[in-house]
Amino acid sequence: MARKKIIAGNWKMNMTPSEAVKLVETLKPLVVNDEVDVVFCVPAIDIIPVIEAVKGTNIQVGAENMYYEEKGAYTGEISPAMLTDVGVKYVVLGHSERREYFAETDESVNKKMLKAFEHGITPIMCCGESLTQREQGVTMDFIRQQVKIGFQGVTADQAKTAVIAYEPIWAIGTGKTATTEQAQEVCEGIRACIAEIYDEATA
């Protein structure tokens, strides 16, 4: 059975709450499609107003990050329970910018993956290689490691609900463009990696 397609937009550190609501109102009539899942992954401060703005539509709201602890002295972080309490369904984990600027590791992404599943949040786990890694011919070695560590302890049933987002980091702001063929090759490699960990049905 073919999987339902998902279109997810990561807003990064853009849009004040009022700007976010205006953008949602503009986008709502453009994304009415029952054949795909549409997800807006928005800054933490925008989550509640955006959830209100998308009510009655096919749009789901995701967070751009979360921490792997339930609560405590983790200033500036957001717990999975906080997200589920307001209706968040998805969370972006391991984005290249989080890895580069905030020292996230494959291991911390794995902890977040497990906690997201525990709370019924669908993780959108990001993976991708740098220009140096692509030029060295180690693209799939690097991405396979990200996937294998990211999915440690994740059950097959959980893995079937996860989303893996490939981001060719080498094509971001470099003037280079990832072709459809290059992206498809990596996506096939990711599926093969998931099949090795679990089985073909899960991949």
Starting at the earlier edge strand, list the strands of the sheet with 90-93. Answer: 5-10, 36-42, 59-63, 90-93, 122-127, 163-166
pLDDT of residue 35: 86
Q: In the beta sheet, which residues pair with residue 61?
A: 40
For the annotated catalytic residues, the residue numbers are: 95, 167
The band of 2, judged by pLDDT with boundaries at 50, 70 and 90, is low
Residue-wise pLDDT for 112-143, tens only, equals 999 999 999 999 999 999 999 999 999 999 99
Q: Tell me which of 31 and 148 has the higher pLDDT.
A: 148
Give the CATH number of domain 66-203. Answer: 3.20.20.70
What is the model's pTM? 0.94
SS3 77: coil
How distant, in Å, are the alpha carbons of 9, 137, 185 from that of 179? Answer: 20, 16, 10
What is the reported pLDDT for 1?
53
Q: Which helix (H) or strand (E) holds 41?
A: strand 36-42
Tell me the domain boundaries of the chain.
1-64, 66-203
What's residue 174's pLDDT? Answer: 81
